[in-house]
Chains A and B, each alone.
Chain A
Amino acid sequence: MNKPRDVEQRKPWYLLTGIILGVLFGLGYAWWVSPVEYVDTPPSSLRNDFKDQYRVLIALSYAVNGDLVKAKERLALLDVDDHNKPKDKATTIALSSNKLVAQAQQAVAEGKPETETKALGMLAAALGQRPTPAPSLTSIQSSTPSLTPSDVSQATPIPDTEVPDTQVPTLSESESATPTPAERISSAELTPPVTKVNTEIAVIPSVTMTQGQSFIPLPSTTPSLTPAPSYVLKSKKLICDPGLKKPMIQIQVADASQKPITGVQVLINWQGGQDTFITGLKPDIGLGYADFSLIPKTVYSLRLMGSEELINDLKIEECETSRQERYGGTWLLTFAPP
């Protein structure tokens, strides 16, 4: 007589067991048997070292075509956050700029090719929200001893803003389908540009565009085949500023019209070592600025890449505060064309 009562009082654990088994089956199927497949991944999902390579390509591409809008689009696709939530444009550009600067510094430290470091530096400077000098093809072409006539004809791109039928492919994370390259290119609505009258970057362009959305290409800087100028030392000053945390060599490079020059590589030697650094990697201080920290009791000599002039006997010189405390001063070296 007790048995039916037991059955009635038994709680429905079998339902809970069933749900747990079902959940386990579902998760196992969804995660291992048939997981979500990401075959059409965006650049933002790339492994970090591939992202670095992608960033180098973006910088080199910018050095060739001078198209800052396209470079920004590409960087935006690369530097969206891990969950693919698009940030606002300013944040994305600032993030990209920081990553470019860090990568350029690392490339210099690792002795990567000059073309790479300069291209990264120039793009970082260009993203510094200020107009930058046009990337000079020859200035980053040190690995190329000479240009053949065919090279010249190929290496002189027609400025995008002066070619009415310019095809500017747009890339967007928001493309849900997988368009063919031809579709992508043809889908970019083209606005016949006007004649280039001003190279100042006045507007930060949209970095993500959906298909069919138009954009007016900004006047882009034009790579030129002008030979890179050599620079000479114009001034050498010892700066006694206790506010500077450590003694340094500061470099400022400008052209004849006092416009700062980015991407100038500086070679520095001391007994038992040498290093290179590059102008423009700290755009917040100046596009033609670079610095190098000095070690006590070490004598340095310094030369700008492409320049014959050697600046010798650079070492920490002592300065004194009003309270007669001693500290290391900073050398400020200013370079300009002869």
Chain B
Amino acid sequence: MMPLRWISFFVAILVGAVIGLYYGWVINPVQYVDTTPASLREVYKTDYVWMVAEAYQIEHNPELAARRLALLGGASAQETVQDALLSATQANSRDVDLQRIRNLENALQNYNSPSMNTPPVKKTP
């Protein structure tokens, strides 16, 4: 094979790779379906903690709250709540909202959060 042909061959491979990468990354990228709350964007995770704190106001069930928070995949439910409380405090949130998160934090102090292994995310190329 002449050198020109080899060059053309490798150029063709490069062109093909570019086409493949463009198709795989842009046109039809891997789509993550059936994700878990642990992969949520940070802003949604914080909102999730707020909702758990509000739900705790009427359910008064620290075990249920801890189980919900465990889905976020933090080190512990307490830490997750403390992070949310810090964010809320820095944002000068309303006292009533801060109090709800503190209530949840206090309840979790007397409860050991369970470790929850969330199932793996399915990938569909």
| A contact set with B: CB distance below 8 Å | 12, 14-31, 35-36, 38-43, 45-48, 50, 53-54, 56-58, 60-61, 63-65, 74, 77, 82, 113, 115, 119, 137, 140-141, 143-144, 154-155, 157-158, 163, 165-167, 169, 171, 175, 178-182, 184-186
B13 in contact with A22 (CB, 8 Å) = yes
The verdict on A27 contacting B20 (CB below 8 Å), with A60-B59, A167-B94, A185-B93 known, is yes
Annotate B77-118 by CB proximity to A: 1 below 8 A, 0 otherwise: 000000010011011111011011001000000000000000
Chain A residue nearest in CB terms to B64: A113
B54 in contact with A64 (CB, 8 Å) = yes
6 contacts between A and B (CB under 8 A): A15-B8, A23-B16, A26-B20, A64-B57, A180-B87, A182-B87
B68 in contact with A57 (CB, 8 Å) = yes
B42 in contact with A30 (CB, 8 Å) = no
Name A's interface SS: helix
The verdict on A40 contacting B41 (CB below 8 Å), with A23-B19, A35-B29 known, is yes
| Shortest beta-carbon distance from A139 to chain B in Å | 10
> In the docked arrangement, what's the CA distance between A144 and B42, Å?
32
* Interface residue from A21, A82, A141, A157 paired with B13 (Cβ < 8 Å): A21
Chain B residue nearest in CB terms to A73: B47
Given contacts A35-B123, A35-B125, A74-B51, 19 further A-B contacts (CB under 8 A): A17-B9, A20-B16, A23-B20, A26-B20, A27-B24, A36-B30, A39-B39, A40-B39, A40-B41, A40-B42, A43-B40, A45-B35, A47-B34, A50-B35, A58-B51, A167-B92, A167-B94, A169-B50, A171-B44
* Interface residue from B12, B24, B100, B123 paired with A14 (Cβ < 8 Å): B12
- Complex interface: chain B residues within 8 A of A27 (CB): 20-21, 23-24
| Shortest beta-carbon distance from B34 to chain A in Å | 4
- Complex interface: chain B residues within 8 A of A82 (CB): 33
- Complex interface: chain B residues within 8 A of A74 (CB): 47, 51
B55 in contact with A60 (CB, 8 Å) = yes
| Shortest beta-carbon distance from B74 to chain A in Å | 14
- Complex interface: chain A residues within 8 A of B42 (CB): 40, 178-181
> In the docked arrangement, what's the CA distance between A30 and B47, Å?
33
| Shortest beta-carbon distance from A286 to chain B in Å | 26
The verdict on A24 contacting B94 (CB below 8 Å), with A19-B15, A35-B30, A178-B42 known, is no
| Shortest beta-carbon distance from A198 to chain B in Å | 23
| Shortest beta-carbon distance from B26 to chain A in Å | 9
B9 in contact with A15 (CB, 8 Å) = yes
A47 in contact with B35 (CB, 8 Å) = yes
